[in-house]
């Protein structure tokens, strides 16, 4: 029986064997396991001799059904576990999400703080540069000013003239270096603005050539100009175009040891094109890509590394701001050609006129009464000298208070006012004078050359801004504007309004 049961392999089956007794009742003689009260699943009647046996097969449906439902229980458990797991994962993920949110916020705050720090550092750097520039410009103003006065003296001989021009050249180089550093900082902080005013191309080229002539002469290089432009009067930023041109010419002279430097101009399809060609060392194709990056100097074995690698970077940025192009072609050992192409309008009004206004003689600017206000004795001395050379009569005041007293007692055509002064500074003085309707143009003269100070000066009521060192050419232009061309003070002021005269004229 046990073998049979083992073969059946069912835990839920029970077998009982019963014998039919005399009362015809079944008497169980063998039972496997607990008999169920249920009816047998199957009954076999077996007759052995005259005895009848019943073999009853019982099936424990309850247990079987439990077994049958066991996987469902498992499914429930697995389901619960899965749901629990899913929940935990979701909780973890949401936690992570919130953590990520917090991390992102933290990082955003950190970035914002870094941005503010960087802006503050940049501002501090700009202030530092402005201050350094101020401190360097002040003595340079004296050096360049007295050089200009000295070179005009009839008594000096040729040798002395040469020495003076060397002093001037060195000071100009130093000034250009200071300006380059200020410029790149202004370009980086997007403070550089492009002005649009009328200018004369011939005058601009002559001035640029003059600046580089001395160095070219020293190296025995020919400086040739081929100007093919029919029109000479344009509308654009004269100061910036001259700055680019001087840099290209200066480089051409610097990187050429023999031969010539040629400047060619043409005006085509609304674009002024200026090419500066040299017969110098040239630039390798690989280096052509690098030279417009700030502080990059490509090594040239035969040439000393003068400069700080800013000139072309600044030029390129300025050209971009003017919607122009600056291109270079070069062959090593043969030479280079830089072409500046700018979209410039022709100044029709001026083109019809004669060029007479530029040929005016110094004594035509006489009889201008100028008030000079500056606390620096050296500045007062040489500005006085230059203005007198230009035929002006000059009164000097060493601060704003003295200036106010002089203005009450005299009438002036023009006031040149320093900004940094004790008692009443230049801004306060300008504000007071504008409130009183002083009736003559006020020109700020300062060793600060940054846009912030220039804007502040505009806000205070100044009609123009001159950065030190002040050149004779700039003073001459200002005096011309006051005297010859304009009949009333109102016109003078309108003319000078927004007219930022730069140190680049020096
Ligand atoms: P800097 O002249 O002060 O070094 P620039 O920005 O004006 O800086 O020029 C960058 C580099 O380009 C120079 O160091 C020089 O190697 C190269 N370069 C510029 N102009 C010329 C040129 N005309 N001929 C040869 N190399 C030049």
pLDDT of residue 486: 38
Residue of the nearest CA to atom 13 in ligand 1?
A: 297
Strands 414-418, 442-446: pairing is: parallel
Strand partners, 335: 331
Residue of the nearest CA to atom 4 in ligand 1?
A: 309
Nearest to 432 by CA among 417, 448, 446, 445: 417
| Residues of the chain predicted below pLDDT 50 | 353-365, 484-506
Distance 442 CA to ligand 1 centre (A): 40
Q: Are 199 and 236 in contact (CB under 8 A)?
A: yes
- Per-residue pLDDT of 118-169, as tens digits, reads 888 888 887 888 888 888 888 888 888 888 888 888 888 888 888 888 888 8
Q: Are 129 and 181 in contact (CB under 8 A)?
A: yes
Best probe residue, ligand 1, of 253, 291, 293 (max atoms within 8 Å of C-beta): 291
Concatenated DSSP letters of 355-421: SGGGG--GGGG-S-EEEEE-S-HHHHHHHHHHHHHTT-EEEEESSHHHHHHHHHH---SEEEEESS-
Best probe residue, ligand 1, of 297, 303, 326 (max atoms within 8 Å of C-beta): 297
List, in order, residues 6 or more apart from 185 with CB less than 8 Å away: 125, 126, 129
Ligand 1 pocket residues where CB is under 6 Å: 247, 251-252, 255, 278, 280-283, 291, 297-298, 300, 307-313, 336
Distance 251 CA to ligand 1 centre (A): 6
Nearest to 187 by CA among 235, 128, 126: 126
**The ligand 1 atom nearest the CA atom of 278:** 23
- CA 114, CA 108: separation in Å to the nearest integer? 10
Task: Give how far Cα 19 sits from Cα of 2, 24, 31, 318, 357, Å.
Answer: 19, 9, 12, 121, 148
- CA 503, CA 168: separation in Å to the nearest integer? 14
Buried/exposed 168-183: b ≥16 CB within 10 Å, e otherwise = bbebbebbbebbbbbb
Task: Give how far Cα 438 sits from Cα of 408, 414, 425, 441, 488, Å.
Answer: 10, 10, 17, 8, 14
Best probe residue, ligand 1, of 312, 313, 319, 331 (max atoms within 8 Å of C-beta): 312
Q: Are 290 and 296 in contact (CB under 8 A)?
A: yes
Q: What angle do CA 352, 357, 361 make, to 5 degrees?
A: 155
Q: Are 219 and 256 in contact (CB under 8 A)?
A: yes
Distance 420 CA to ligand 1 centre (A): 37
- CA 253, CA 248: separation in Å to the nearest integer? 9
Q: Are 416 and 430 in contact (CB under 8 A)?
A: no
pLDDT of residue 497: 39
**The ligand 1 atom nearest the CA atom of 309:** 8
- CA 375, CA 418: separation in Å to the nearest integer? 8
The HSE-up count of residue 459 (CA atoms within 13 Å, CB side) is 6
pLDDT of residue 506: 31
pLDDT of residue 303: 53
Distance 305 CA to ligand 1 centre (A): 9
């Amino acid at each position: 029986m046990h073998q049979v049961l083992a073969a059946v392999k069912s835990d839920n089956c029970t077998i009982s064997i019963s014998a039919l007794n005399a009362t015809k009742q079944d008497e169980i003689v063998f039972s496997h396991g607990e008999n169920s009260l249920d009816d047998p699943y199957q009954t076999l009647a077996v007759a052995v001799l005259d005895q009848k046996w019943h073999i009853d097969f019982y099936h424990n449906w309850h247990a079987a059904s439990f077994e049958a439902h066991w996987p469902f229980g498992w499914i429930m458990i697995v389901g619960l576990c899965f749901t629990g797991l899913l929940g935990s994962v979701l909780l973890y993920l949401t936690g992570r999400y919130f953590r990520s949110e917090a991390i992102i916020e933290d990082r955003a705050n950190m970035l914002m703080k870094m941005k503010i720090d960087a802006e503050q550092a940049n501002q501090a750097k700009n202030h530092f540069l402005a201050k350094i520039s101020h401190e360097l410009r002040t003595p340079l103003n004296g050096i360049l000013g007295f050089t200009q006065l000295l070179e005009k003296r009839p008594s000096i001989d040729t040798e002395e003239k040469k020495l003076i021009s060397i002093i001037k050249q060195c000071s100009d180089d130093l000034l250009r270096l200071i300006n380059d550093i200020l410029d790149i900082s202004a370009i980086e902080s997007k403070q550089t603005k492009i002005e649009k005013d009328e200018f004369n191309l011939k005058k601009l080229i002559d001035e640029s050539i003059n600046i580089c002539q001395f160095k070219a002469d020293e190296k025995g290089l020919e400086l040739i100009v081929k100007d093919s432009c029919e029109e000479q009067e344009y509308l654009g930023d004269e100061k910036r175009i001259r700055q680019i041109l001087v840099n290209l010419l200066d480089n051409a002279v610097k990187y050429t040891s023999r031969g010539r430097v040629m400047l060619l101009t043409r005006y085509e399809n609304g674009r002024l094109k200026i090419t500066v060609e040299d017969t110098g060392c040239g630039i390798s194709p690989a280096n052509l890509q690098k030279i417009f990056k700030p502080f990059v100097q490509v090594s040239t074995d035969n040439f000393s590394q003068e400069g700080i690698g800013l000139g072309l970077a600044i030029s390129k940025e300025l050209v971009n701001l003017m919607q122009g192009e600056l291109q270079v072609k070069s062959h090593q050992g043969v030479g280079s050609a830089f072409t500046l192409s700018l979209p410039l309008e022709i100044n029709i009004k001026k083109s019809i006129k004669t060029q007479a206004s530029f040929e005016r003689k110094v004594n035509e600017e006489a009889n201008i009464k100028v008030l000079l206000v500056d606390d620096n004795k050296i500045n007062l001395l040489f500005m006085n000298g230059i203005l007198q050379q230009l035929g002006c009569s000059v009164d000097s005041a060493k601060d704003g208070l003295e200036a106010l007293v002089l203005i009450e007692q005299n009438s002036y055509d023009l006031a040149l006012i320093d900004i940094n002064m004790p008692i009443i500074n230049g801004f306060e003085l300008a504000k007071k004078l504008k409130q009183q309707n002083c009736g003559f143009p006020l020109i700020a003269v300062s060793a600060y050359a940054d846009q912030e100070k220039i804007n502040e000066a505009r806000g205070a009521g100044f009609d123009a801004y001159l950065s030190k060192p002040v050149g004779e050419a700039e003073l001459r232009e200002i005096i011309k504007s006051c005297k010859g061309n304009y009949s009333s003070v109102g016109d003078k002021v309108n003319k000078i309004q927004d007219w930022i005269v730069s140190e680049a004229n020096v």
